[in-house]
Amino acid sequence: MRDDDILSGSLMEDTWLTLEQVAAACTVEPEWLARHIDDGLFPHVECLAGTWRFSSVSLARARRMWRLERDFDAVPELAALMADLMEELDTLRRRLQRTGPS
């Protein structure tokens, strides 16, 4: 079973996941995720009434970062930088698909 098989399907943009749900979907300990939040590596998560809330974008970021750390023994900061670059590539690809090549 691949990591992606654990939580499949698409999340609605207004759907929020808890820290525990994201950790389970990424097969990491909640402490791993909390450490990365404390280090500022998840800029788009928010804490509401003491509960961390994650969007589908944050879930994808967590999965990418975990794979980079696990597969390439990357330090968390490097994994976050690579996740930033991959997110930017995804954004540019979506924009190109909408507008078409010029």
Question: Cβ(61)–Cβ(87) under 8 Å?
Answer: yes
pLDDT of 7 reads 47
Q: How confident is the model at residue 100 (pLDDT cuts 50, 70, 90)?
A: confident
Domain range summary for the chain, segments of one domain joined by +: 3-99
pLDDT higher than 90, residue 101: no
Just give the CATH number of 3-99.
1.10.1660.10
Question: Cβ(45)–Cβ(52) under 8 Å?
Answer: yes
Question: Cβ(29)–Cβ(23) under 8 Å?
Answer: yes
Kindly report, residue by residue over 15-59, the tens digit of the pLDDT: 899 999 999 999 999 999 999 999 999 988 999 999 999 999 999
Percent of the chain with pLDDT over 90: 79
Helix (H) / strand (E) containing 51? strand 51-54
The two structure tokens encoding residue 65: 């970062």
pLDDT higher than 70, residue 5: no
Q: How confident is the model at residue 2 (pLDDT cuts 50, 70, 90)?
A: low
Q: Which residues contact residue 58 at a Cβ distance below 8 angstroms, ignoring those fewer than 6 apart?
A: 17, 22, 42, 44, 45
Question: Tokens 């097969």, residue?
Answer: 27
